[in-house]
A and B are shown apart, each in its own frame.
Chain A
């Protein structure tokens, strides 16, 4: 059945995979020594990853810095996707229901092009 996969399909699949790979390699998660916490789009604080600490953001979320990584140690959101993301030292942790974002940034606070604050 030639309607299942056409040449154009192969092209679009290869292009999409190549774009994803390129973005993952060149744009994405840059590391950095700091965890910047944003609530509702506002910066709450930046915490160095080389110091272990527990940050109680509010009643809804707690973020823990441990061994150079950061993870969502508590969240009251129903699905817990932010907790499932585990400990990170690059990229971001996002708790959508509570509108909380943790982004790994470098010292200057310049996060890379993709993660620029809106």
Chain B
């Protein structure tokens, strides 16, 4: 398995794809009365990696994606929100994935909901009141819908996308 280089390229490609998805969502964000609702397309990559390459790889790529995305498109403060959301989401998804009780959809939905909770927790700390929690129910409802959609897309990718090692054998 001389896969080191091809793996680096593969993970780099997926990181770039996730970054691009995050950027597009930021640019074409629709103004809504409840801030922070988005599709969370980048989570497709996180779920894909979780199932394909395991917890460590998924966490590493997610971390790199969040830090790069924060530095490139957001800023230090937005990085803090994403990081809190990302860490909570990745940990939760890893637990559900390992438990084997849940399918891809449930894992993705949980990740989406936890991401919001992490971000809201930081928001509460930043503004010094619990007022941001007002948004939690709306964000949770949106996260369930978007998370389910992304989960189904991720499931398709998990099934169809050739793995690095497969390509090597060809």
| A114 contacts across to B, CB distance below 8 A | 130, 133-134
**Are A16 and B144 in contact, CB atoms less than 8 angstroms apart?**
yes
Interface 9-residue window, one of A6-14, A48-56, A58-66: A6-14
**Are B130 and A117 in contact, CB atoms less than 8 angstroms apart?**
yes
Interface positions, chain B 19-66, Cβ under 8 Å from A, are 31-36
Q: For chain A, give the interface size range.
A: 35 or more
**Are A4 and B129 in contact, CB atoms less than 8 angstroms apart?**
no
Q: State A92–B129 Cα separation when bound (angstroms).
A: 11
| A5 contacts across to B, CB distance below 8 A | 103-106, 152
Q: For chain B, give the interface size range.
A: 35 or more
**Are B131 and A101 in contact, CB atoms less than 8 angstroms apart?**
yes
| A57 part of interface (Cβ distance < 8 Å) | no
**Are B109 and A23 in contact, CB atoms less than 8 angstroms apart?**
no
Contact with A along B91-106 (1 / 0, CB 8 A): 0000000000111111
**Are B35 and A85 in contact, CB atoms less than 8 angstroms apart?**
yes
| A41 part of interface (Cβ distance < 8 Å) | yes
Q: A84-B32, A115-B133 are in contact. Are A94 and B127 (CB under 8 A)?
A: yes
**Are B127 and A24 in contact, CB atoms less than 8 angstroms apart?**
no
**Are A2 and B124 in contact, CB atoms less than 8 angstroms apart?**
no
Q: State A90–B54 Cα separation when bound (angstroms).
A: 44
**Are B106 and A92 in contact, CB atoms less than 8 angstroms apart?**
no
- Chain A to chain B contacts (Cβ below 8 Å), 9 pairs: A3-B104, A20-B137, A23-B136, A84-B32, A85-B33, A92-B132, A99-B126, A99-B128, A101-B129
Q: Which residues of A come within 8 Å of B, CB atoms? A: 1-6, 8-9, 12-13, 16-17, 19-21, 23-24, 27-29, 38, 40-42, 78, 81-82, 84-86, 88, 91-92, 94, 96-97, 99-101, 103, 114-118
Besides A84-B33, A96-B77, 16 new A-B residue pairs in contact (Cβ under 8 A), listed by A number: A1-B155, A3-B155, A4-B103, A5-B104, A8-B103, A13-B105, A13-B109, A40-B128, A41-B127, A41-B128, A84-B31, A85-B35, A94-B131, A103-B129, A103-B131, A114-B134
3 nearest A-B pairs in the assembled complex, by CB-CB distance: A41-B128, A9-B106, A81-B35
